[in-house]
C-alpha cells in the first residue's frame, strides 16, 4: 500500500518531467506552449464567466426563495409513492445545475437525517453518480462553440435518472 501512495505522490512530477524531456528531445519550446495554453484558458474563462455567474445566481435565487423546496415537496409526494424519498428531490434538481449547491443541500440532509441514514446514503450515492448536466453542457459547448447539441441533453438526463434509480435501489435493496 505504501508503494502505491509513494507512486501516486511522484506521478505528477514524473509526468511534468517527462513532458519537459519530450519537448527537449523534439526541440519544442515547452514554456512558450505553456504560456499560449494558459492564455487560451484565460480567454475561455472570460467567455464562459457570464454563463457561470448566471447559473450560480439562478440556483441561489431558487434556493433562497423557497421555490426549490416548494417544487421538491410537490414532486416528492409522487416520488414517495414509488420509493424515492421526497426530501431528496431538491438535491437531484440542484445537482443538474451546481455541484457545490448540491453539496450544501447534502450537508443539510446529513444534519437532518444523519450520514448513515437511508436518505443520507442515497443522497451520497446520487451526488457521486450524477453530473451537473446544465453546467457541464453550457461550459463545454460554449467554450467549444457547439451550437447543435442534438441528443446530449436527453442522454444526460437519462443517465442522471439511471444514477438516481440505481442509487436508490442499492440503498433500499428493493
The grid cell for 41 is 484558458
The reported pLDDT for the residue numbered 129 is: 92
Evaluate whether 122 touches 167 at the Cβ level (below 8 Å).
yes
Q: In angstroms, rounded to a whole number, what is the distance separating the alpha carbons of residues 84 and 170?
A: 12
Domains of the chain: which residue ranges? 38-172
Is residue 122 predicted with pLDDT exceeding 90? yes
Looking up cell 505522490 gives 9
The reported pLDDT for the residue numbered 60 is: 80
Is residue 142 predicted with pLDDT exceeding 90? no
The reported pLDDT for the residue numbered 128 is: 93
Sign of CA dihedral 22, 24, 26, 30: positive
For residue range 43-88, what is the model confidence (pLDDT) as tens digits? 888 887 887 788 778 878 887 898 888 888 888 888 888 889 988 9
The grid cell for 110 is 446529513
Evaluate whether 120 touches 113 at the Cβ level (below 8 Å).
yes
What's the mean pLDDT when you consider all of the chain? Answer: 88
Per-residue pLDDT averaged across 79-100, rounded?
Answer: 88
With pLDDT > 90 as the criterion, what percentage of the chain qualifies?
38
Q: In angstroms, rounded to a whole number, what is the distance separating the alpha carbons of residues 132 and 94?
A: 8
Q: Which residues contact 157 (CB under 8 A, 6 or more apart)?
A: 133
Evaluate whether 98 touches 136 at the Cβ level (below 8 Å).
no
User: 165: pLDDT confidence band, cut at 50, 70 and 90?
Assistant: very high
What is the largest distance, in Å, between two alpha-carbon atoms of the chain?
65
Q: In angstroms, rounded to a whole number, what is the distance separating the alpha carbons of residues 41 and 34?
A: 10
The 8-class DSSP code of residue 68 comes to H
Region of poorest pLDDT, from 49-53, 93-97, 151-155: 49-53
User: 125: pLDDT confidence band, cut at 50, 70 and 90?
Assistant: very high
Amino acid at each position: 500500500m505504501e508503494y502505491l501512495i509513494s507512486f501516486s505522490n511522484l506521478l505528477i512530477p514524473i509526468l511534468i518531467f517527462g513532458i519537459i524531456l519530450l519537448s527537449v528531445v523534439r526541440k519544442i519550446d515547452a514554456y512558450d506552449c505553456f504560456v499560449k495554453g494558459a492564455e487560451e484558458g484565460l480567454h475561455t474563462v472570460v467567455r464562459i464567466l457570464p454563463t457561470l455567474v448566471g447559473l450560480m445566481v439562478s440556483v441561489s435565487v431558487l434556493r433562497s426563495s423557497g421555490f426549490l423546496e416548494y417544487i421538491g415537496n410537490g414532486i416528492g409526494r409522487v416520488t414517495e409513492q414509488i420509493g424515492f424519498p421526497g426530501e431528496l428531490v431538491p438535491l437531484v434538481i440542484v445537482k443538474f445545475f451546481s455541484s457545490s449547491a448540491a453539496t450544501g443541500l447534502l450537508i443539510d440532509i446529513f444534519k437532518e437525517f444523519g450520514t448513515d441514514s437511508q436518505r443520507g446514503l442515497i443522497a451520497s450515492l446520487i451526488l457521486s453518480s450524477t453530473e451537473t448536466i446544465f453546467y457541464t453542457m453550457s461550459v463545454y459547448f460554449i467554450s467549444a462553440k457547439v451550437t447543435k447539441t442534438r441528443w446530449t441533453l436527453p442522454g444526460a438526463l437519462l443517465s442522471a435518472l439511471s444514477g438516481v434509480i440505481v442509487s436508490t435501489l442499492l440503498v433500499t435493496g428493493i
